[in-house]
Each structure stands twice: as structure tokens, then as C-alpha cells.
Structure 1
Amino acid sequence: MNQAEKARAFGALHQKGNPVILYNIWDAGTAKAVTEAGAKALATGSWSVAAAQGYGDGEKIPLETLVATTRQITAVNDLPLSVDFEGAYSTEPAGAAANVEVLIDAGATGINFEDQVVGGDGLHSVEKQVARIRAIREAADRRGIALFINARTDLFLREGDLSKHASLVDAAIERGKAYAAAGANGFFVPWLIESTLIQKICDALPLPVNIMMRQGAPDVKSLAKLGVSRISYGPGPYRMMMEKMREAAAAVYAAAS
């Protein structure tokens, strides 16, 4: 498939009740491993990609390094690739769109695009985020690429008290509907794990809903029954692999001492 075909195929994988599963990768090697395990598509996690290069999360990895990593993955893998692009390295619509075009040139067929102010406080207003999404949509369409814009809201991620998540659902739905009208293809609600709240969002929105696996989240089959269309794993795979490496290395050094 060429890039345009991959983008269309990736969008088609998002089916309510039959979610596409994205076990997040961070480089070409992990892309190969996950592909061989049976993946239908690939997705990076920003935290993992940054950490693998020695950077912190929050757009601290240079844009050119992220783009290079994207090129390395797409050069050796034919599956559709969604890149966690955080805030697209620009608060302004034109800048965000221009940066997404660079990522498209590197082979990406989808992005995660979040509404928190990266490196700042709070979330962008609905109006500001809508303008940014619309600019990205128009830029991708000009390229003839049905880029899957997975619009992420950080309402739940920024609220550590799970008992307060129910009070945020209406605001999340408002954002989801606005993002859909602006040209988003999916709606990502990281940190939300309560089944009734997940189902309420799935029922209320025209967009496929993405849930990130974390401790306390429903399992894959349960999420499918709730109407989820996409399941991702965020930094979990990277953290697990690094812990295994630390343990293995510690055993080697302990045995040699």
C-alpha cells in the first residue's frame, strides 16, 4: 500500500465494539517486534519515544529527532503508523499544520493531537483547539492523505482524583463534538477507566473513542462491549521492557561480583 492507502486502511480499523489494538512502540526495532506479533497497525507513544532518546516527555525531544524516528520506522515497516505528536510543537494553527506536514512527509498516517498546553498550564480553549485541528485537517487533505487525527483531551489525565472524573464527562463530550466538527477522526480520553463514563462518551460522540490501558482499566473485551474503537498502551510497554533490562543487567553484575 502507498501512504494514502495506508491512511484509509488505518481509519477503517477503528470500529465501535471491535477496537483496533495499538501496543505502543518507540523505534524501528520495536515496530518490527510488534508487527511480527500480529499487529494490524502501529502507534508510537510520546513518552516512550522521548525516553528512548534520553529526553523527557512534553515535546522535549527535538522535532527533527522525532521526525527521524518516524522515518526509520516507516522505512522498514509497511503497516500504517500513528505518531503521538503531543501539541504538534506549536500553539498556533499554522505552525501546527506545517509541522504535521513534515510528519506526513516522514510517512505518518495518523497522529495523536492533545489539547493541553504543552509546557504550560491548563487546556487550550475549545475554540483554539478547533482552529488547530481544522488547520491540520486542511493541510493533510491538501496532500491527499486521510490523516487520522486522534484528538486527545487531557481533562481526565490532569485530574488525579478519579472520583471527580464523572464531573468532567460533559465537558469532554462538548470538546469531542467540537473536535469532530473541525475534522478530527477519533477522540482519545487518557486516564479515564470508569466503565459507565467510558460508555457514556462512546454513546454520545460520533467519533471512535480511544482508551489507554492502565491499572484499573477494563480489559479489552469489556472495553469492546462499552463501544470503544481503539485501545492503546501508552508508555506501559517501554517501562516494562526497561524494567526487565534493568533486572537482567543487575543479575549479570551481581553474578560477576
Structure 2
Amino acid sequence: MAEEQDGGRARAVDGSDGAIAAKRARLRELHVPGRPLVLPNIWDAASARTVAAAGFPAVATSSAAVAAVLGYEDGEATPAAEALAQVARVAAAVPVPVTADMERGYGLAPAEFAERIAAAGVSGVNLEDSDPRTGAMVEVDEQTRFLAAVRAAAGAGLVINARVDSFVHGTGTPEERLADAVARGRAYLEAGADCVYPILVSDTETIRELVTGVGGPVNILYRPGVPSIAELASLGVARVSFGGGLHAAAQEHLAALVSAIADGADPYGAPRG
């Protein structure tokens, strides 16, 4: 068992201590096909507290949003230590489980990755199957070995959401991309993932075929053009996330406020005397 010195005493960082184990178990329980876990993705402690205060049972980070607030581009440009420090702040700020978007592990070996995620107090992770720097998809066998290694290092508790990028970086016809996404999703579940995340899928029939074909919990990214959350539930989706969309919308709102100030207007919309 890995340990970390904290105030002169060692503490477990493999996720086996009671508090983390309970949160991880709770996060896994929330993935119910037909009654999806809804995750408005956040980027810092303040936004995490807002989501938790609204009654959501778990909090999820967005790698793109976290990168932006730390001054980096998405795609693992954020140093691993900074990304982990940010998700640790989030986890410490809220009483609910936190699942962190960790791209493809920021280049960390699975054992180190699992240890540092546990030390950060994280209950779940997103791990994608394309190289964040090049966009090229990783071969299925390589990705399944990676996921299996993370599972072995982290133990049974960590909730792994395996992103499937067939609709982003894959090739071929829509039917071929769907078949690839289903095959990858099934392989990732067999390798130890708890949920699969075919990102950028938007039409009802494709979502239906993914849920049926994968045969396990499916996460859908909510964005314009995607069926409503109620419709996604009827399709058997187990998790709905918002990615970097909320952060982008918050930035747009901030830009409008700043523009109003620059124009000499009241940014809060109060009547001027």
C-alpha cells in the first residue's frame, strides 16, 4: 500500500481508507441506466461548491475548463502536478464524490497515477483513448492494457469512465464509427472500466444503438442538438455530463459584463440615473 507523509504520520493514498472508499462506492451506485447521473462539469473549488449546493450528488471536473483557468491549453498541456493540485482543491471543497477528467493520465505510469489520484481524494476519473497531443486514436489493445493497469493499481474502488473518441478522431462511415465505438466500449468494460463515454454523439438512434451494443453504463455529453436529459434517460443512458460547456458559457457571460463596463454601462442592468 502506498503511503504519504502528512504532518508526521503516514496516511494511505491507495483509495482504501474509509472516507474515499465510501465516496467511490457512492459514485459507482449513481451510474444507473435509465436514471442517469447528471454532472454539470466545473473547474475550481467555487464552481464545485455551487454544484454541490444545488443538490447534485457528485461533482465532475472538465479538463478543458481546468486547463483554461490555470492558463494552459487543453490536451495535456497542463503539468500533471498542477492538474492534480486543482482537482485536490475541488475534492477538499465539497462533501460529495468528485470525478476528475484526467485526459489520458498526463503521461503518468498507471501505478503512480492511481496513487496520486487517491492522494487527491478523487473518486473517479475520465480517461480518453486518443493521444491528447496528436489526436490520433490509441489502438484498442494498447488502451485496454492501460485501463487494466490503472484498474489493477487503483483497486476495485476507483470509478473509471473510459472515453471513446471514435466520433471525434475515428475514420470511416458513420456506421463504421458506430461499430468501432461499440467494440471499444465493450473492450474497455472488460478491461475494468465502469462506464464508457462515446463523446460527441448526438442523434437519438446512434445513442440507442450504443447503449444496446455496449451492454454497460454509457455517458453522453450534453450539448446543443443532443436529446433532452429525460429523453437520454429513456434511451438507457447512465450518465450525462456537460464537459467544458458551462465554463465556456460563464466566460461568454463575463465577456458581456466586461464589455458593458468598457462601454460605460451598468453591467448588472440597473437603471442609470
TM-score, normalised to structure 2's length? 0.87
Deviations 1:113-167 (A, max 9, x none): 00001212421111100100000001111xxx61110001111122699xx4333
Partner residue in 2 for 1:113? 127
Partner residue in 1 for 2:29? 12
Is contact 1:58-1:86 (8 Å) kept?
Answer: yes
Give the number of equivalent residue pairs: 249
Question: What letter corresponds to residue 161 of structure 2 in structure 1?
Answer: N
- Residues 1-257 of structure 1 aligned to structure 2 (within 5 Å): 2-90=19-107, 95-141=109-155, 146-158=157-169, 164-255=173-264
- 3-state DSSP class of the match of 1:168? helix
Alpha-carbon separation, structure 2, partners of 1:174 and 1:228: 18
- 3-state DSSP class of the match of 1:149? strand
Deviations 1:3-58 (A, max 9, x none): 10000000000101000000000000000011111111000011000001111000
Alpha-carbon separation, structure 1, partners of 2:214 and 2:33: 11
Is contact 1:24-1:237 (8 Å) kept?
Answer: yes
- 3-state DSSP class of the match of 1:2? helix
Quick check: 204-213 or 80-89, which moved more? Answer: 204-213
Question: What letter corresponds to residue 155 of structure 1 in structure 2?
Answer: S
Over the matched positions of the two proteins, sequence identity in percent amounts to 34
Quick check: 198-207 or 41-50, which moved more? Answer: 198-207
Is contact 1:97-1:132 (8 Å) kept?
Answer: no
Is contact 1:87-1:96 (8 Å) kept?
Answer: no
Partner residue in 1 for 2:5? none
Question: What letter corresponds to residue 255 of structure 2 in structure 1?
Answer: R
Alpha-carbon separation, structure 1, partners of 2:200 and 2:114: 25
- 3-state DSSP class of the match of 2:38? strand
Question: What letter corresponds to residue 168 of structure 2 in structure 1?
Answer: L
Q: CA deviation at 1:88?
A: 0.4
Question: What letter corresponds to residue 104 of structure 1 in structure 2?
Answer: A
Q: CA deviation at 1:96?
A: 3.3
Alpha-carbon separation, structure 2, partners of 1:10 and 1:148: 7
Is contact 2:113-2:150 (8 Å) kept?
Answer: no
Q: CA deviation at 1:73?
A: 1.1
Question: What letter corresponds to residue 70 of structure 1 in structure 2?
Answer: V
Q: Structure 1 194/160 Cα, relative in aligned 2: closer, same or farther at 3 Å?
A: farther
- 3-state DSSP class of the match of 1:111? strand
Deviations 1:88-116 (A, max 9, x none): 012xxx71342232012101100000000
Question: Which stretches of structure 1, 4 residues or more, deviate above 6 A after TM superposition?
Answer: none
Q: Where is the helix percentage greater, Structure 1 or Structure 2?
A: 1
Is contact 1:42-1:82 (8 Å) kept?
Answer: yes
Alpha-carbon separation, structure 2, partners of 1:74 and 1:168: 35
